Structure 1
Amino acid sequence: MRKTAAKLLTAAALATSLVAIAGGSALADPTVTPAAQDIVGVGSDTIQSVLNQFSTDYNASLGSGSTAPHLYSWDATGSSPITTKTGATSIARPNGSGAGIKALVANTSATVDFARSSRAPQPTDAHGLDFVVLAKDAVTWSAQSGGNAPAQLTAAQLNGIYTCSITNWQQIDPSLANATIKPYLPQTDSGTRAFFLSAIGVTTPNTQCVVSGPEENEGTDTALQDANVVFPYSVAHYIGQTVGGHTTSTDAPSNLTLRNVVLNGVSVPPVVNNQINIDIANSQFGRVVYNVFRDAEWNATDAHGQALQNIFGSTGWICNDSVAAADLASYGFLATPACGVATLT
């Protein structure tokens, strides 16, 4: 994998509290069929809500009647197939970072212009893709409020849980409940799943005790409403839900609460002052989230390439506009000076 970007800089928070969104309310799937020239994305559940808000606010910034390419984003879940824009071939709705990237590779800009990704490039990704930095996030683990899980776990303990060498809470602490741990993971195309497993050093989770399938970053699934559940969770998405108020009937934590990770012997809370704790953001549990483009289009000098840069580039709207900055903070993500920087696969 060739890299065109300099080393990512340390994330910095925009403010000590979340900023209210300056634009209108975000929508889910587009309420109109995007035009053929519009910029349309699919993929990650983790960043879909902030991209929906970007869509609302960027399009408003263009002014009524503008013929410039607008921005639209399709959710990870919902009815399928979807017709992403005028003249596009219908495709199965991509659910997750991996599925979004596959859809980007399998189609042209007549159907998909970018993929939302909550994971970094992987050796198995197709060549010729640009992973363009959006923001910083972190992933921790969650458990039921009032359940049997402790307040904190080490990476080694999480590794043991997801490899099934630790199956009972009393293996962690004899004072805990004598109960079987129930580790869950999001569906297999989830970028949060891939990142979390890498962070705890697990290549392949042990299916003898690990269950895959729930949609990521929510606790509304009945399978997750158990006193012994362990489930990875985006810290930014959780902040957006609980502090920013961005929830739906299925996109909400329900009774899941974020738990601490132990770093160098210190129990580190994932959230401090309604923001991602910088200590966890700068650990192996901190991650960058991206939008992914075909390199030939990202670097093109035509109208389509210019539209991509105007929205996602380092001098574009997302990385520089105050409304975009407020959106990013309201949905829990940390701004980074590397916004708009590309890594080429």
Structure 2
Amino acid sequence: MRHTAAKAFAAAAMTAAALATVAVPAMADPATGVTPAAQDIVGAGSDTTQALLNQFSTDYNASLTAAGNTTSPRLYSWDATGTDPITPKTGASTISRPNGSGAGISALNANTSATLDFARSSRTRQGTDPSSDLFVAFAKDAVTWSAKSGGHAPANLTTQDLNDIYSCKAGKTNWSAFGGTAGTIKPYLPQLSSGTRSFFLGAIGNPTLGACVVSGPEENEGTNALLDDIDVIFPYSVGHWVGQANGHTTATDNKGNLTLRNINGVAPLTATGTLNAAFANPTYGRVLYNVVRDTEWTATTVQGTALRAIFGPTGYICSTTGRTTISSYGYLNLAAASCGSTI
């Protein structure tokens, strides 16, 4: 059963240098030595929102402990990459670690609440998703293209430019064709199951990918050696990049030397380095979701109650505390009436 849809939401020069970062360790997976209990709320999937969900896990669980609540299910989230396979919770089936929105949603639907309770998703519902899934909205993001600081790419590209580049169109394979410095363009895309990948390609018109396009680098990891190239172009979550700039990083979950660039003359960042709401327009802006099974979301069980207490309109993520964390990690908050709504 479907519920109220999250509202649609309506982006100066490129950032020439990375914002100052603070080395703040981010949790990855449930803490060492912690095995989620069978009744706990456990998820996996999108790389884009994994650091944010790790923080929610830490803070939500601490809030229960501080309140003296020792019985309610805790929240845990498995990162998109790491040791493989994983056993998500006590008594669960061992599964391949889901890497990306699509993989998380597939794993959710291939198993039961004994294994996974939600999937992180940076993409919206697609026609191939089961109608029994609910996409629970909680934040806004945007996707732009990135390139190495000091490289050959220009400050701005249009939507058509991006379509031409990823089509490897004749006469459009050198940065000089777009006002940049001469150099053969190297278009990269994230892994196939990436929600950022599918969203970005849809936003630029779903081009037929040309032979010059390389797929595979983990999304939102600017430290990947393949991307440390003056001619590379790579899609990037604006919110995730801002979160990394705010110090929410690990050795690999880091923007590295990649800087965010403009599309159609609109900057993805404000002058103060936050996600530009004007860039988070209907073309390049997106809602972020946690996907759950409808039957469990509406159930009066312990787990159903916990799902709503975490992800629902009056739940932890949509609370004042949760919304502050969303901002800290680089994303925009949804209107109060949209946070926790489902499609």
| Bigger shift: residues 24-33 or 92-101 | 24-33
Contact 1:25–1:56 (CA<8 Å) still a contact in 2? no
- What is the correspondence of 1:1-345 to structure 2 with a 5 Å cutoff? 4-6=3-5, 8=7, 10=9, 26-31=26-31, 32-63=34-65, 66-165=70-169, 166-173=172-179, 176-206=180-210, 208-242=211-245, 244-262=246-264, 267-272=265-270, 273-320=272-319, 322-337=320-335, 338-343=338-343
Q: CA deviation at 1:26?
A: 4.9
Q: CA deviation at 1:5?
A: 2.1
Structure-1 separation of matches of 2:281 and 2:177: 29
- Helix, strand or coil for the counterpart of 1:280? coil
Contact 1:163–1:202 (CA<8 Å) still a contact in 2? no
Structure-1 separation of matches of 2:329 and 2:306: 24
Give 4+ residue runs of structure 1 displaced > 3 Å after superposition.
Answer: none
Q: CA deviation at 1:65?
A: 5.8
Structure-1 separation of matches of 2:315 and 2:153: 44
Q: CA deviation at 1:331?
A: 0.5
Contact 1:129–1:292 (CA<8 Å) still a contact in 2? yes
Q: CA deviation at 1:113?
A: 0.2
Structure 1: gaps (5+ residues): 12-23
Structure-2 separation of matches of 1:274 and 1:280: 13
Count of residue pairs the alignment pairs up: 321
In structure 2, what residue type is equivalent to 1:172? F
Structure-2 separation of matches of 1:82 and 1:256: 31
Q: CA deviation at 1:7?
A: 5.4
Contact 2:223–2:254 (CA<8 Å) still a contact in 1? yes
In structure 2, what residue type is equivalent to 1:332? G
Q: CA deviation at 1:282?
A: 1.9
Structure-2 separation of matches of 1:180 and 1:26: 36
- Helix, strand or coil for the counterpart of 1:342? coil
Q: CA deviation at 1:203?
A: 4.8
Structure-2 separation of matches of 1:221 and 1:54: 26
What fraction of aligned residue pairs are identical, expressed as a percent?
A: 60
Q: CA deviation at 1:25?
A: 7.1
In structure 1, what residue type is equivalent to 2:226? A
- Helix, strand or coil for the counterpart of 1:317? coil
Structure-2 separation of matches of 1:332 and 1:158: 24
Structure-2 separation of matches of 1:10 and 1:177: 35
| Bigger shift: residues 76-85 or 62-71 | 62-71
Structure-2 separation of matches of 1:296 and 1:161: 44
- The structure-2 alpha-carbon separation of the partners of 1:160 and 1:254, relative to structure 1 and needing over 3 Å to count, comes to same
Structure-1 separation of matches of 2:342 and 2:321: 23
| Bigger shift: residues 106-115 or 291-300 | 291-300
Structure-2 separation of matches of 1:183 and 1:163: 10
Contact 1:152–1:259 (CA<8 Å) still a contact in 2? yes
